[in-house]
Copies of this chain bind each other. A is one copy, B any other.
Amino acid sequence: MEQIDGGITVVPGVQAAGIHAGIKKEEAKDLALIVTDVPATAAGVFTKNSVTAAPVLVCRQHLSDSTAQAIVINSGNANACTGELGMSNAQRMATATAEQLGIDKNLVLVSSTGVIGQQLPMDRIENGIQLAANALSTDGGNDAAEAIMTTDTHPKSAAVEIEIDGKPVRIGGIAKGSGMIAPNMATMLSYLTTDVNINSETLQSALTCVVDNTYNLLTVDTDRSTNDTVIILATGGAENSKLTDSKGNKYDTFCEGLQFVCTELVKMLARDGEGATKLVEVVVKHAKNRSDAKKAARAVAESPLVKTAVFANDANWGRIMMAIGKSGAEFDPYQVDVLLGDYLLVKNGMDAGYDEDKATQLFDNDPVRITIDLRAGDAEITMWTCDYSYDYIRINADYRT
C-alpha cells in the first residue's frame, strides 16, 4: 500500500469541482460536484439521528439500486427541519444535476451541511450546479474538499494505491466537519472514490466495517448531526477480477486501503475539531470486550474535564479515572494503568510517582496519546478526539450571528 497525494480525483475516471454559488454569506466555495465517467457501484452510511435531513432521505432512495454517478453537495445550509419544501428542494438538486450531466436523476446523490431550519436558496443552488458542471476536472478534488467545509479551517483529502490481482487500485477520499461530531453509525460528510472492481454487497460490507473502525470512533463534541453521510463510489475501472466476497486476502487488502484513507481523514477531522489545539488518541487496552472498550474510550474522549485538561497541558489523571468510572465498563479501579504517550501516570489505579514537568512536556507530542489499560480482558480500541479550548466556545457562540 502506498499513500499518494490528492483525494477523490486520484481515481481514474473521477472528476470534481467546487465553486461559490452564494449560499454562504462570505466569498467562499459552497457547492461541490463529484462525477464518475460511468455509473459506479455505490454504498453509503448515514446519520442515526431521528431528525433526518432531506438530502439524507433522497440519498437513501437513490441508493436503493446501489448505483450512482454523481454527488452534489452544498455547504452553508443543512436543509434539515425543512418539511416538504425541503424534500422537494433536495430532489430538485438531484434533477438539476442530472440535467446538467445528461444522466438519470436516480444516479445523483445529494448532501447539504450548514445551518439547520432554513430553506435552500434554490435559484443560487441551480445556478451553482451549472457552474460546477462546467468546472468539472480530473484535478478538482481539492476544490470539492474546500466547497464542503463549514467551520473547518482547511480542506481534508487522503488517498492510497493498493494492488489486487497484481493490478493497481486507487482509493481517494475527502471529508468535512469540525463540530456536531459524535457519529454513532456514520459521520459528518465524507466522500470516497475508488476504481476497484467490486459488487455492491461487498462494497457496502467493506464500507460499514471500515466506518465502524474509523468515523464511528471519532468524537469532537458528543453532538450528532442530522446530515451525517459517508458515500463511496466504485467505478470498476481497475483491472482486478471482481470482488464478490466479504472475506479473503483480496477483500482484506481493499479494506486495509479503505481503512487507511478513512483513518487519515478521521485524524484530520479530529485535529481540525472546532477550537482544537491538539489531536488526541484515546487507546483502551485489555477491556472485557469491544463494547466496554468503546464505552471507556468514549467516556474519556467526550469528557469536558479531560478535554480542558489536555488543552491546559495538565496531566490530570484523576479526571481520566473519573471518566472511565462513569462509563459503565467493567473493571477493577485498582488494576488500571494510565499512560501519557509511553509515560506511566497511573499504576494500579493510583499515582505512579510521575514527574509533573515531564508529563506536561508530553502534551507537545502529536498526537497526544492517552492509553488506559483496564486489565479486564482482551479487547482494544482507539478513539480520536481533540481538546476543548476557548475557541470551541467562540466558534459556537458566533456560528449563526
A contacts, CB < 8 Å to B: 48-52, 78, 80-83, 115-118, 179-180, 182, 184, 221-226, 302-305, 308-309, 311-312, 314, 316-319, 321-326, 330-331, 333-334, 346, 348-351, 388-390, 392-394, 396-401
Contact = CB atoms under 8 A, between A and B. Distances in A.
Copies in the complex: 2
A267 to B, nearest CB: 21
B51 A322 contact: yes
A225 B334 CA distance: 17
Contact of A303 (B83, B222, B398): B222
A51 B324 contact: yes
Contacts of A388: 393
Given A118-B351, A392-B393, 14 more contacts: A49-B322, A50-B326, A50-B331, A51-B325, A81-B318, A83-B349, A115-B318, A117-B318, A221-B304, A222-B302, A226-B325, A309-B397, A312-B401, A316-B400
Contacts of A397: 308-309, 311-312, 314
A346 B225 CA distance: 18
B393 A80 contact: no
Nearest to A350: B83
A51 to B, nearest CB: 3
Given A83-B350, A223-B305, A305-B221, A319 B116 contact: yes
Given A50-B333, A351-B118, A393-B308, A321 B226 contact: yes
Given A81-B318, A117-B351, A318-B81, A305 B179 contact: yes
B396 A325 contact: no
B396 A49 contact: no
Contacts of A116: 317-319, 321-322
Contacts of A349: 51, 81, 83
Give the 5 A-B CB pairs with smallest separation, nearest first.
A116-B318, A51-B325, A312-B397, A308-B396, A49-B325
Nearest to A225: B322
Contacts of A304: 221-223, 304, 392, 396
Contacts of A225: 322
B323 A223 contact: yes
Contacts of A330: 50
Contacts of A224: 322, 325-326
A322 B223 contact: yes
Nearest to A184: B326
A326 B223 contact: yes
11 contacts: A52-B333, A78-B318, A83-B349, A117-B321, A179-B305, A180-B322, A223-B319, A224-B325, A388-B393, A389-B393, A393-B393
A169 to B, nearest CB: 36
Contacts of A314: 397, 399-401
Nearest to A396: B308
Contacts of A179: 305
Nearest to A334: B83
A215 to B, nearest CB: 15
Contacts of A308: 392-393, 396-397
Contacts of A324: 51
A268 B71 CA distance: 51
